[in-house]
């Protein structure tokens, strides 16, 4: 399922995401040499319609055309078939950013092989590049609050999200091996998002080590993901006032990265509907009652909270989620252990 290469295929630096299938048979791991042998790992197109990562890698490698990289670079080009379809996933198949934990499917075995390979190469750091489906600021996401992870994240942006769920992502798995970060680079293909990612990749290639100093609270806007909001599979929903069990405002995404106040409306229910909103916490519990009040026809926020990655794309809502809920935290006051428990089976 996975192809491993030691050089770029001809034409790789110019080809569009939707035509990668003409060069690559499927998921492909490309190892390029550099002055320092421990590789920087960069994953792109784990979601096929999020192509800023591919553009960033192409732009970076053009900058080094004819020159040796300062550090080895391992590039994972993920869901080539989904990229051909300009879709997050191939319908009916796995989400390539939800297959990095336990499992015995071909996709899980592929990620386990990648992890073993990178572990043997003593991977230096990992960067997974993504886009959003609605307006969000650029931010970095980490699964570990130790100093190396925080330093890597703030090298990209002072807005940092700490998330421990879902725990089947590429960044979750890589955080067991090295400092690892997910970059959220705005809407697909935006030049500013691509160049932002290029700057971090280039900086990491030039580093001898990831800094280990503690981040001061004044230098980071840190948010903790506390719940994943979902629409139950049995309920219909709409963003344009069509007849549905749950009706969201079409301007819902304006709430992204804005703290909402108690009493603010989140959605309305059709008369006679018994639909419910779910809000799953880090421990797998539905805590909708903690974050929302429900008076029979309207869901309002119960406590101050900050939504992120709200989407009006129905496919994303069904495949993944409606949004995440976050709370602002201070790194100096956050006492949860930063130990990242071993959980990825690679044998």
Q: What's the pLDDT at 58? A: 98
Name the segment(s) of the chain with CATH classification 3.40.630.10.
3-222
Query: Quick one: fold of 3-222?
Result: Aminopeptidase (3.40.630)
Q: Where are the beta strands (DSSP E) in the chain?
A: 3-5, 28-32, 34-44, 69-77, 125-130, 139-142, 159-162, 180-184, 221-230, 237-238, 246-247, 265-269, 278-280, 292-294, 298-301, 306-308, 323-329
Over residues 91-144, the pLDDT tens digits come to: 999 999 999 999 999 999 999 999 999 999 999 999 999 999 888 999 999 999
Helix residue ranges, H only, the chain: 52-63, 80-85, 106-120, 147-156, 170-174, 191-206, 288-291, 314-319
Beta bridge partners of 28: 3, 77
What is the spatial distance between Cα 78 and Cα 170, in angstroms, rounded to a whole number? 11
Instruction: Locate 95 and state its tokens.
Output: 């989400």
Q: Which of 186, 179, 34, 2 is nearest to 108 (CA)?
A: 2
Beta bridge partners of 324: 228, 308
Q: What's the pLDDT at 337? A: 42
Q: Which of 183, 180, 199, 169 is nearest to 138 (CA)?
A: 183
Residue-level pLDDT, tens digit, the chain, 347 residues: 999 999 999 999 999 999 999 999 999 999 999 999 999 999 999 999 999 999 999 999 999 999 999 999 999 999 999 999 999 999 999 999 999 999 999 999 999 999 999 999 999 999 999 999 888 999 999 999 999 999 999 999 999 999 999 999 999 999 999 999 999 999 999 999 999 999 999 999 999 999 888 899 999 999 999 999 999 999 999 998 778 999 999 899 999 999 999 999 999 999 888 899 999 999 999 999 999 998 878 999 999 999 999 999 999 999 999 999 999 999 988 754 444 433 333 33
């Amino acid at each position: 399922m996975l192809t491993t290469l030691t050089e770029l295929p001809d034409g790789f630096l110019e080809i569009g995401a939707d035509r990668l299938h003409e060069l690559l048979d499927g998921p492909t791991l490309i190892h390029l040499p550099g002055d320092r042998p421990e590789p920087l790992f960069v994953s792109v197109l784990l979601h096929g319609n999020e192509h800023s990562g591919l553009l960033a890698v192409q732009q970076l490698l053009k900058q080094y055309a004819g020159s040796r990289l300062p550090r080895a670079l391992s590039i994972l080009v993920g869901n080539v078939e989904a990229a051909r379809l300009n879709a997050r996933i191939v319908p009916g198949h796995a989400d390539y950013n939800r297959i990095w934990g336990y499992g015995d499917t071909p996709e899980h075995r592929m990620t386990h092989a990648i992890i073993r390979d990178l572990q043997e190469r003593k991977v230096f750091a990992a960067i997974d590049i993504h886009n959003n489906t609605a307006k969000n600021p650029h931010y970095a996401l980490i699964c570990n609050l130790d100093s190396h992870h925080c330093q890597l994240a703030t090298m990209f942006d002072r807005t940092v999200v700490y998330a421990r769920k879902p725990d089947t992502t590429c960044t979750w798995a890589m955080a067991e091996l090295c400092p690892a970060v997910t970059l959220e680079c705005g809407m697909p293909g935006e030049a500013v998002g691509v160049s932002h990612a290029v700057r971090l990749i280039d900086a990491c290639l030039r580093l001898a080590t990831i800094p280990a100093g503690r981040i001061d609270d004044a230098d980071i806007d840190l948010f903790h993901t506390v719940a994943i909001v979902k629409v139950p599979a049995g309920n219909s929903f709409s963003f344009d006032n069509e007849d549905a069990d749950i009706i969201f405002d079409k301007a819902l995404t304006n709430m992204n990265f804005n703290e909402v106040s108690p009493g603010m409306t989140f959605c309305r229910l059709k008369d006679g509907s018994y639909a419910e909103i779910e809000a799953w916490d880090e421990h797998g519990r539905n805590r909708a009652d903690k974050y929302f009040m429900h008076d029979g026809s309207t869901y309002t926020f119960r406590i101050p909270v900050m939504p992120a990655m709200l989407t009006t794309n129905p496919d994303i809502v069904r495949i993944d989620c409606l949004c995440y809920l976050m709370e602002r935290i201070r790194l100096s006051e956050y006492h949860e252990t930063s130990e990242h428990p071993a959980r990825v089976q690679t044998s």
